[in-house]
Chain A
Amino acid sequence: MAAMALLLVSCGGSGSATGKQKQITLSAAGATFPQPFYNLAFKKFNEAGGPLINYGGIGSGGGIKSLRDQIVNFSATDAFLSDEEMAEMPGEVVHIPTCIGAVVIAYNLPGVTDLKLTPELLEGIFLGNINKWNDPKILASNPGLALPDMEITVVYRSDGSGTTFIFSDYMSKVSPAWNAQLGTGKALNWPAGIGAKGNPGVSGTISQSQGSIGYIGYEYAFAQKIPMAAVMNSAGFFIEPTLESFTAAADEEIPSDTRVMLTNSSNPAAYPITSFTWIIMYKELAYGKHSSEAAEAAVKTVRWLISEEAQAIATSVHYAALPQNASLQAEELLRGITYQGQTVLK
């Protein structure tokens, strides 16, 4: 029995180069938000001769930890590393934005599909100050809408998440009360409502509970056909969540290391609760047991992700593509990645 076991596991051993194409295997971990897009893109790249990527959707935090422990080739995160987190890393880390996602406000109100919300309304609802749907403040922004006399049930994320981070970052920018009470973070001290696990948990809860409202990732609300509110952006327009409005939020000056939150963008066509999602990797890839072939494969994979072809794949599955300025910055950063001092991309 034991002998059979040993035989079986040695068969799968890596590096049995018999002259044919030796398949390189890379490990990556991180955010669940872009996972559907990444898995699809990795698969296409693999079919075209690229490496096999084992990606685990263990969350942005898990991805960051994995990178810090040097057990993956790269990670994915919805929130860029803070200066403290960068300092904790054993090496310099680069952030490569790969696509743009948005947090939408989903709700369940029988007969209502065109809800418009302002930052003040969001603050009131999520902080527990506005309790009923037919509150005059809500009616003021939604003239003519038949809002019922129903209790508002807030649904938030019970697990630490990038989605919460993006939403709270936006709210902290537009609401001093929010900033003081809850701040920005992946997990907050919510004053009211119920917590559900993961995007599916929140969207499932919202679809099952009348009168509920919560924040979820766009592709979730889209796929489950849950009504999404139009949110007033900084220019005063009520913007519906669409892929174009997300990309518009990135159409501005971004720093060279791409570490910026796109929330509350100044672009008048932008949906205000948007964010990049990044691949993070070490600038110097000779660490752990990673070979130069693995380094090259990793950089080429990430470069593929920001290429036109992959970005078209992204939009086909309802993720917003990078605007030109962002992809140019990303390319620049990739060109700076080295293996034992030598740049990987020739």
Chain B
Amino acid sequence: MSGDRVTKALLFISSLTILLLSAGIVISLLGGALPAFKEFGVRFITSSVWNPTEGSEEYGAMAFIAGTVITSILALIICIPMAFSTSLFIAEYYNGTRTSRILRSLVDLLAGIPSIVYGFWGFYALRPLLVATGLTDQGFGVFTASLVLAIMIVPYATSLSAEIISMVPAELKEAAYSLGATRREVIFSVVIPSARSGIIASFILALGRALGETMAVTMLIGNANVIPKGLFAPGNTMASVIANQFGEASGLKMSALIAIGLLLFLITALVNYLGKLIIKRFA
């Protein structure tokens, strides 16, 4: 069966692309980040000081780590009910109908909007709305950014979830129905367990998107290089500070920014790992 062997080898080789890519990225990032770690050591991760003044330069990543983690998780929390109900709507309740197709296209629309535009919309339309509610003074802050992030990542969570849910074999569902289960019971006892892996994967995909999002966040979070003091206080995220400062940075500052990029890589890994642990817990 050498044809089989060849195919298996081909598949294996293709898996090497992402392996080599990731290794290359980590190596390139490490090279750039080393000066910052040499200079500040572990303090780089724990300190929230960010002082670019020449002569007394000191950089610490904590403010941005806090901002990234808070906004991404908040965005996911806001997104989950929306994505979950929408994907159930599309793939279960109204599966195959025109309404479902229309809704699906509408959600696809969200995915097609460039992130800058989310930033503009958030800035010109959402911000005044939030200011009008009185919850926030100028409208910049963690909450605004998380809200827009949530809307941005909905298509990622919904699209794949809906697809996976619609692929749950009909026999499984029909078996449950024949035992007298209501629709909701079928969903919770058959559809979700069967599609669980895919649904969670879609949420992790969405979270990943949120962790790395730059443009929309940078326009709404207030760009204050400190740990946010409250839900509506300004802050900054890792992706945003890199995008903002990289163009003009050099030397130690550039190294600090690349180090933040490396840290983001690691945090994404950590979040993924924790996610898997949580799933195992509830499996």
Contacts and interface: CB of A to CB of B under 8 A. Distances in A.
Partners in one complex: yes
Nearest to A212: B138
Interface string A146-186: 00000001000011110000000000000000000011111
B9 interface: no
B222 A159 contact: no
Interface stretch (A36-44, A194-202, A241-249, A264-272): A194-202
Nearest to A186: B248
Given A194-B223, A197-B218, A208 B248 contact: no
Interface in A19-71: 58-62, 64-65
Given A60-B248, A85-B250, A159-B248, 11 more contacts: A59-B247, A161-B248, A183-B55, A185-B52, A185-B53, A186-B248, A188-B53, A194-B140, A194-B223, A194-B234, A195-B244
Contacts of A161: 248
B53 A201 contact: no
Contacts of B54: 183-185
4 closest cross-chain pairs (CB), A and B:
A160-B248, A195-B223, A158-B223, A61-B248
Given A160-B249, A209-B138, A189 B244 contact: no
Interface in A90-104: none
Given A194-B222, A194-B224, A204-B123, A160 B245 contact: yes
A64 B55 CA distance: 22
Interface in B20-78: 50-55
Contacts of B250: 61, 64-65, 85
Contact of A153 (B53, B138, B244): B138
B219 interface: yes
B128 A208 contact: yes
B127 interface: yes
Interface residues of A, number: 29
A185 to B, nearest CB: 6
Nearest to B140: A194
Given A182-B53, A208-B128, A187 B219 contact: no
A193 to B, nearest CB: 9
A31 to B, nearest CB: 10
Given A65-B250, A160-B247, A187-B248, A201 B219 contact: yes
A59 B248 contact: yes
Interface in B222-253: 222-224, 234, 236, 243-245, 247-250, 253
Contact of B244 (A58, A60, A159, A182): A159
Contacts, number: 73
B223 A196 contact: yes
A208 B127 contact: yes
Nearest to B247: A59
Contacts of B138: 153, 194, 209
Nearest to B119: A197
Interface string B130-143: 00000000101000
Contacts of B51: 189
Contacts of A59: 247-248
Nearest to B253: A187
A183 B224 CA distance: 19
Given A183-B54, A209-B138, A158 B248 contact: no
Contacts of A201: 219
Contacts of B127: 208
Nearest to B138: A209
B218 A158 contact: yes
Contacts of A189: 50-53
Contacts of B253: 187
Given A65-B250, A160-B247, A209-B138, A187 B222 contact: no
A59 B250 CA distance: 13
A321 B223 CA distance: 35
A25 to B, nearest CB: 24
A42 B50 CA distance: 39
Count chain B CB atoms within 10 A of each CB in A59, A153, A195 and give the residue with the most: A195
Contacts of A85: 250
Contacts of A159: 243-245, 247-248
A182 to B, nearest CB: 6
Interface in B76-134: 123-124, 127-128
Contacts of A64: 250
Contacts of B248: 59-62, 159-161, 186-187
A196 B234 CA distance: 11
B256 to A, nearest CB: 12
